[in-house]
A = this chain, B = another copy of it.
């Protein structure tokens, strides 16, 4: 069995104070995993690497871990946003989990002209991202940003961030071709549209941005969640940290 990894918020410093566990984590370790004082788990906080911690105590309101040793130095994955139009219930959570495994640094829900779902539960997305980060071995948790209108997102777009647009109308360049010899050092974002696709006026505006690379994902129509996972995987394989070190 793989080791238990928990995301905590306290600083993790050699000789420092014990790290606090919240009530849910204490309950999980005690009631679900049947662990107690003296047992060891791994913790990370997104800043101080990964540490082996020893359980001091587990109570209803939370618990405490003393730090035994640092097991991994802090590392950052690629600076890669996923901007996506949340589709029907349950799907955004699935996308948040998979995107976390696929190494995104931020999840940006966007509303488009054809976005059907209204309210996005960013707290639940965040919980899914934390759990996926714990399980996939990451040392960071992707930021879950507040939903924003596509127009506003583009108006405030950082000048140096490249944007890979998944164009479901067939107007894009085949993804492997589009991503060969792209700038690996630049920050990136992947943008996936809603069910029903982008409105033509949106594609028009996107097509005029110098930072946009329009890509095609083959001859079949992908659901939004498949497109997001597929696009992130191809990006990681061709541009990101799945590549062999150079």
Contact = CB atoms under 8 A, between A and B. Distances in A.
B221 A137 contact: yes
Interface residues of A, number: 40
Interface stretch (A9-17, A19-27, A225-233): A225-233
A103 interface: yes
A125 interface: no
A147 to B, nearest CB: 24
Contacts of A101: 220-223, 226
Contacts of A238: 176, 237
Nearest to A176: B237
A122 interface: no
A28 interface: no
Contact of A137 (B1, B173, B220, B242): B220
A87 to B, nearest CB: 13
Nearest to A229: B229
A138 interface: yes
B218 A236 contact: yes
A107 to B, nearest CB: 15
A157 to B, nearest CB: 26
Contact of A98 (B137, B175, B226, B242): B226
- Which interface residue of A177, A220, A222 has the most chain B CB atoms within 10 A? A220
In the A-B complex, list the 5 residue pairs whose CB atoms are closest, starting with the nearest: A230-B233, A218-B242, A176-B237, A136-B220, A174-B244
A203 interface: no
Interface in A106-142: 135-138
19 contacts: A2-B196, A97-B223, A98-B226, A101-B223, A135-B221, A136-B220, A136-B221, A137-B219, A174-B243, A176-B242, A177-B243, A177-B244, A217-B233, A217-B237, A218-B240, A218-B241, A219-B241, A219-B242, A233-B233
A234 interface: yes
A92 interface: no
Contacts of A165: none
B230 A175 contact: no
